[in-house]
Structure 1
Amino acid sequence: MSKKRTPLIDPSAVADPRRRDVLKLSGLAGLALAGSALLPAEARVPFGVARTGSATATEGAVVPFSTAATPIRPPAVPLAVRQPYLSTWLPATLLPGTSPQFWQIDPSHLDATSTNATGMVGLARIDGVAWLFMGDGKIVRDIPDGNHGKAHTVEDYPRAMQQTALHITATRSCFTLQGGGVELSVDFLSPVESGDARRQSIPMSYVRVSARSADGAAHAVQIYMEITGDWASGDHAQEVVIARGDSKAARTWTLALAKPQPLTEQHEFAAWGHVVWSTPNRTGISMQAGDCLKVRRRFVEHGSLDGRNDAQQSTIKSMPALALAVDLGRCGTSAIGVDFVVGQVREQSINYLGKPLNALWTHHFGDWKTMLDFFHGDATAARARADTLDAKITRDARAAGGGHYEGLCVLALRQAYGGTELVLGPDGSPWAFLKEISSDGNVSTVDVLFPASPVWMYLDPDYLRMLLLPLLDYAEKGGWPKTFAEHDVGSSYPQASGHNDGKEEDMPVEETGDMLIMMAAYLRRVPRAEARAFATRHYPLLKKWAGYLEKNLPDPGFQNQTDDFAGSIAHSVNLSLKGIVALAAMGQVAELVGRATEVAHYQQRARKDIAYWAKRAKDPKAPHLDLTYHDAGGQGTWGTLYNGFADTLLGTGLIPPQVRVMQANWYRQQCNAFGLPLQVPHSYAKSDWELFTAA
């Protein structure tokens, strides 16, 4: 499937169907009413529903129920998002009753034996009463059978806590819930460690659960958290191995395929390495692995787990649970919390041109247990750094575009970093690879890196350099045979096997322009001496790519481009603009390396081409630019001129001011239900290019 054909859908529409069973009962309040019949007599607490949609967790205490989110409601909430194989999201805004899942996979890629679920369930036992606060957490209860006078087993949910708030920042998703007189905070922190490659390379994420009294009385609280076997693979027929992996500082479960396949995928999951599920070593911890229904029942009845591992080797289909329980003691008005860590650990990450490359974390830590202990010990400092970063992005985003724009920025940050991972390059220096997610699965796709690149231009230019390195290296000495920039360095992640036969999804002007623009943008953001050295090292390749553009501009022929679902195009106004700005970018690179003659050459060529562009791109009958020169695409066609962003980004000053004003006025009149159309006559829009156009 082409990488840009993935339809935009409501993730909840493809969620685990069991979630619908929860919502059939009058919200979660009704769920708790139904589930209360299954609780022991001493656990039953009156539970009512207010007419306004609020619910009482205890008699007389009104708890506001809310599925709202700030600063905006996301289509899916990021939970543990650190790299391509540790990317778990909530396809809803309601934490209890919804099963988390691996990043959105096209449903057509799934069959009866596969899923993209990554089950995670949370229960809080408050004064002997079990409450669901996360996930699709069925339990099993034995009840009397009135017809036969004997007990039988019934599946159902425990009562659910009421979610009162969801706040999303650049690094966190923070849920607040109430029930049983207790307020629970569940914070998912996926650190973004700009400028710190060692910490950024750690493939792990935090979950912190903290409890405090909401009614002024002290409450006995135990917390249960589990992950299920489907974290190992999307193929439910696979056998998994579950084992203890305790270290000096932590109590840990590990989950791995019984028959791993190094450097391959199964339904987009990594088919090698192992998942870790861990909590710091402390008093009050208990553990258990086995049938998820039985393990949850043990906690509901006793508030602790029995230490057994009844799922040492089982199939994913049997839904084994890896559970951790922590007794928080009696909670008053001051919050008491516990950290959990989930990770996906692989020593080898990428096969680059036939050579397996190790994950960067292996350079900094002796083994994964040492890394895990460090990560646990770093939790408090990581939260402090996250606070600082969150405040910076919130401040800058609001200043630029207000609260809604803040919402887009905080969601984009984890998504961008979460599509990448750090490795040890062939020369022993850090490299970063990007996976083209939810589509082709290509390795380090240039025209996917390009729309994500503003994240690193803003926050961490050196990370952008590390992402560019594999693309530069492959074109310089890896066997890429063509004179323009490659589309990617491998058809299927994690196999960065290149395209030495020249057979790939060629986008000549698109990818070449992207590479030159990103190089110039990076060089503007680092110290001049460092920029000069990097530009000099790669100048011969960049000059070759610029030469290709010169031969094919200002009017490129019939070519594919990043919006490949729309098909190849000839005489494209937007694609031509990218190439022209890229030539001006090459002039900036030439200036850095002291090539005065070439600086003048590229500047003059860019000005000459933009004059050609401005004259031929204008629609003769309407106040806008056409989709193609002289409206070759048909009368009245026009497109989103998102490639003009690079002109502003690099300060090249090529687009005439009157053209900017004309286009802005035209676009203001053309928005539909989806936003600004990508190109007419189609009505669909793309959020990345809308934002580039606005910028």
Structure 2
Amino acid sequence: MPDTPFLGDPVLGRRDLFRFGGAAGLTVAASSLLTPDASAEVATATSPSAAHPVRPPATPLAVRSPYLSTWLAGDYLAGEWAGFWTGRTTAMTGLARIDGVSYVFMGQPGLPDGGVELRGMIQTDVTVTPTKSRFTLHAGGIELAVTFLSPIEPGDLRRQSAPLSYVSAQVRSLDGAAHKVSLYLEISAEWAHGDSNTLVGWNSASTLGVRTLSVSPTNPGVLAENGDMASWGTVAWSTPERAGLTWQIGQDTVVRQAAAGNGALSGASDSAQPRRISDRWPVFGLNLDLGSVRGPSEPFVVSVGHIRTPAVSYLGTPLSPLWTSYWPSSQQMIADFHTDFPAATQRSDRLDDRVTGDARRAGGDKYAALCALALRQAYAGTELVVRDGKPWAFLKEISSDGNVSTIDVLYPAMPVFAYLDPQYLRLLLEPVLDYAETGGWPKAFAEHDLGSSYPNASGHNDGNEEDMPVEESANALIMAAASGVTGHYAILKQWADYLVDNALDPGYQNQTDDFTGFIAHSSNLALKGIVAIGAMSKLATAAGNSADAARYLAVARDYIAQWQTKATDTTGQLKLAYDRPGTWSLKYNGFADALLGLNLVPAAVTAEEGAWYLAHRNQFGVPLDPRHSYTKADWVLWTAAWQHDHPQVRDALIEGVYNFVTTSASRVPFTDWYDTISARQAGFQARPVVGGIFSLLALPGKH
């Protein structure tokens, strides 16, 4: 491992669907995403109907990696347990003791019979920005602000590699009087494993000025999952040492009773370990006595992390997380993470302002609200590792198939990385390209994924996988061109030549929307392949191969003319498939043509398609095609970006997804697959494909 940081660029049946059960509603005011005039309105009204609020189906709390992904799928921070994206409880508790009276501000904790009475704080506002979820609560004459910050660090691999997230709490007096306040924050051992019968052990340590309470499975299953949670690794719950800080590890009701009744903890760790997670529910409590508070207090900052070594395996070789190249130990990483909190907050504020401002200019307030909800989820589907002294990134196909670095999941997520950090997209592509070049992939077209079950990129050297020949080859070429990939010319050319032979009229093939089934002569799939041939012309130009560049561009232009003829119905409408007159579909693959500036699709065709979408939309958007009433949020936003020169169409497409997000009764982390009539989840949740929401921002010069 190098001692110094890296420099320079370095059919429905197969998709397992997960749902939260019995989740309640969630209200979010999101005043930070409104225009200045609308913000003034929200200052006096927190109703979801005020201006353009976003009410996420689930609000991101600690959302940083495939295994650090905790959400609130309810109306209020108090009264609901937080949960992993699958819906498994990953409990977080917050108590505030104000002038001797104890209040709940997070979770739904119980106390022993005869224990201290707990009252609930009154939640007055929630604001969701691209990197933060901020809750405001009142009780006992004070205001409490609780902020969950999961940093996004474009261009900074060192900071982005830290598998940590912040929770901060700050209080101030509302009535001008001084109030004696203590705050208690806690997580449960449920964070450590997907099975509550699992034995866990714990520890408390003070290192480098930081108190860390940690919990791990006693018999870890390295590089294995249980219920999509990691079966190995350590959950770390940390805060800087300071006056008034106490801690305790033990049975949930015992530790909470101490905080609620005494405003302080014992500094003791329960010796009855290891034990099952469900055996007296061990929790990890941190309590800070703030003393007498009038003005804003210094924030009580706690970090939560899921720390695993190794992180993934590639073709049988375990790979360490990238953070190990920058820090000698996890304790040093955690200490630096806390030291960095003020600067991290400022960077996150600037990124929030940038994303929100760009999004408003590109698509309005409702579009900005969608981008705010999508950013953390998109990045949290990925993680950074080190291989042969170089950084790589892997992506998990969350909630659908669990594959490693699925190309047709990375592809819809692409816009967020193309917009914020093309280097990161290149790192995500490196394993995909390496495996095809040297890993034993036996076929002429691109692989579908790097392994059937994350985190093991075991490959498919026998060729037995879910082939999507045109789909994946085209996806890889378009992403390579969009991110500025250098090298890998031979394999990219191989895939381009496959498309020259097969893309104009694809045979009976699977494609990314595999829940709709195989299809032959697909107009949209053909469009993708043709655009990818054009993308190869850009890659050839960058490689200095002008002859190849001219040839591929000429083929793409010839094919698009033929495509228009084959795909156009006698009515002038583009069909779902060449041999299906009277049909239509969302031609979201036109976005890549606009992204790369190829201008292959005639402007008149784009305009006519847009008019068709306006005439066929439902309450919550435009279906993928007439076979079903469901749609995909990522593809709708890709289509909106393709229609960027037609604001009425663009805005209608955005509004359909926004209306779904803010009204759906399916309370799950942002699902990309939903019904446009009922606004109910059709499947999938928490997937990184919501990076496709950033399609408008990825277009050159459109923000």
| TM-score under structure 2 length normalisation | 0.84
CA contact (8 A) 2:62 2:70 kept: yes
Of the three residues 474, 495, 519, the one matched with 1:513 is 474
Counterpart-to-counterpart distance in 2, 1:372 and 1:387? 21
Q: Which residue of 2 aligns with 1:407?
A: 369
CA contact (8 A) 2:15 2:401 kept: no
Counterpart-to-counterpart distance in 1, 2:417 and 2:475? 15
Kindly provide the CA deviation profile for residues 187-231 of structure 1, in whole angstroms up to 9, marking residues without a partner as x.
000010111101100000000000000111110010001001100
Paired residue secondary structure (1:88): strand
Kindly provide the CA deviation profile for residues 621-675 of structure 1, in whole angstroms up to 9, marking residues without a partner as x.
x3421100142xxx53211100000010011111112111110111011111331
CA drift of 1:68 comes to 8.1
Q: Which residue of 1 aligns with 2:402?
A: 441
CA contact (8 A) 1:186 1:210 kept: yes
Counterpart-to-counterpart distance in 2, 1:453 and 1:243? 40
Amino acid at match of 1:578: K
CA drift of 1:77 comes to 0.5
CA contact (8 A) 1:212 1:333 kept: yes
Counterpart-to-counterpart distance in 1, 2:203 and 2:458? 34
Q: Is residue 660 from structure 1 mapped to residue 606 from structure 2 by the alignment? A: yes
Counterpart-to-counterpart distance in 2, 1:94 and 1:5? 31
Q: Is residue 276 from structure 1 mapped to residue 222 from structure 2 by the alignment? A: no
Amino acid at match of 1:323: G
Distance 1:445 1:671, change over 3 A: same
Counterpart-to-counterpart distance in 1, 2:391 and 2:421? 14
CA drift of 1:2 comes to 5.1
Q: Which residue of 2 aligns with 1:83?
A: 65
Of the three residues 93, 100, 104, the one matched with 1:132 is 104
- Alignment of structure 1 residues 181-260 onto 2, 5 Å: 181-260=141-220
CA drift of 1:248 comes to 1.7
CA drift of 1:65 comes to 8.2
Unpaired segments ≥5 residues, structure 1: 28-62, 106-115, 143-152, 524-533
Distance 1:356 1:7, change over 3 A: closer
CA drift of 1:314 comes to 1.9
Q: Which residue of 1 aligns with 2:576?
A: 627
Of the three residues 216, 237, 254, the one matched with 1:294 is 254
Paired residue secondary structure (1:94): coil
CA drift of 1:366 comes to 0.5
Q: Is residue 98 from structure 1 mapped to residue 59 from structure 2 by the alignment? A: no
Q: Is residue 457 from structure 1 mapped to residue 407 from structure 2 by the alignment? A: no
Distance 1:662 1:68, change over 3 A: closer
Q: Which residue of 2 aligns with 1:42?
A: none
CA contact (8 A) 2:17 2:399 kept: no
CA contact (8 A) 1:3 1:436 kept: no
Q: Is residue 352 from structure 1 mapped to residue 314 from structure 2 by the alignment? A: yes
CA contact (8 A) 1:65 1:162 kept: no
Distance 1:451 1:201, change over 3 A: same
Pick 1 or 2: higher relative contact order, CA cutoff 8 A, min separation 6.
2
Unpaired segments ≥5 residues, structure 2: 1-10, 28-43, 642-703
Q: Is residue 599 from structure 1 mapped to residue 560 from structure 2 by the alignment? A: no
Amino acid at match of 1:138: G
CA contact (8 A) 2:81 2:108 kept: yes
Q: Is residue 691 from structure 1 mapped to residue 663 from structure 2 by the alignment? A: no
Q: Which residue of 1 aligns with 2:38?
A: none
Kindly provide the CA deviation profile for residues 118-154 of structure 1, in whole angstroms up to 9, marking residues without a partner as x.
0000000000000000012122241xxxxxxxxxx7x
Distance 1:85 1:502, change over 3 A: same
- Alignment of structure 1 residues 415-430 onto 2, 5 Å: 415-425=377-387, 427-430=388-391
Counterpart-to-counterpart distance in 1, 2:266 and 2:72? 30
Q: Is residue 324 from structure 1 mapped to residue 286 from structure 2 by the alignment? A: yes
Tell me how large the CA RMSD over aligned residues is.
Answer: 2.0
CA drift of 1:6 comes to 6.2
Of the three residues 326, 350, 353, the one matched with 1:364 is 326
- Alignment of structure 1 residues 495-506 onto 2, 5 Å: 495-506=456-467
Aligned-pair identity (%): 51
Counterpart-to-counterpart distance in 1, 2:123 and 2:463? 54
Distance 1:66 1:315, change over 3 A: farther
CA drift of 1:93 comes to 3.7
Paired residue secondary structure (1:439): coil
Counterpart-to-counterpart distance in 1, 2:414 and 2:242? 42
Of the three residues 676, 680, 690, the one matched with 2:626 is 680
CA contact (8 A) 1:507 1:559 kept: yes
Q: Which residue of 1 aligns with 2:567?
A: 617
Kindly provide the CA deviation profile for residues 146-184 of structure 1, in whole angstroms up to 9, marking residues without a partner as x.
xxxxxxx7xx97111011010011110000000111100
CA drift of 1:4 comes to 8.6
Paired residue secondary structure (1:324): strand
CA contact (8 A) 1:4 1:564 kept: no
Counterpart-to-counterpart distance in 1, 2:442 and 2:524? 27
Counterpart-to-counterpart distance in 2, 1:5 and 1:202? 30
CA contact (8 A) 1:4 1:563 kept: no
Paired residue secondary structure (1:551): helix
CA drift of 1:599 comes to 1.3
Counterpart-to-counterpart distance in 2, 1:349 and 1:297? 37
| TM-score under structure 1 length normalisation | 0.85
Q: Is residue 568 from structure 1 mapped to residue 518 from structure 2 by the alignment? A: yes
CA contact (8 A) 1:3 1:438 kept: no
CA contact (8 A) 1:240 1:314 kept: yes
Q: Which residue of 2 aligns with 1:48?
A: none
Distance 1:132 1:8, change over 3 A: same
Paired residue secondary structure (2:335): helix
Paired residue secondary structure (1:520): helix
CA contact (8 A) 1:68 1:166 kept: no
CA contact (8 A) 2:218 2:274 kept: yes
Q: Aligned residues, how many?
A: 612
Amino acid at match of 2:575: D
Distance 1:66 1:207, change over 3 A: farther
Paired residue secondary structure (1:98): coil
Kindly provide the CA deviation profile for residues 231-283 of structure 1, in whole angstroms up to 9, marking residues without a partner as x.
01120110110111321221110010011111111111111110000111101
CA contact (8 A) 2:204 2:213 kept: yes
Of the three residues 389, 410, 433, the one matched with 1:472 is 433
Distance 1:565 1:121, change over 3 A: same
Larger radius of gyration: 1
Kindly provide the CA deviation profile for residues 290-345 of structure 1, in whole angstroms up to 9, marking residues without a partner as x.
11112111111111111222253221112211111001111103333210010001
CA contact (8 A) 2:16 2:401 kept: no
Paired residue secondary structure (2:564): helix
Of the three residues 530, 554, 557, the one matched with 2:504 is 554
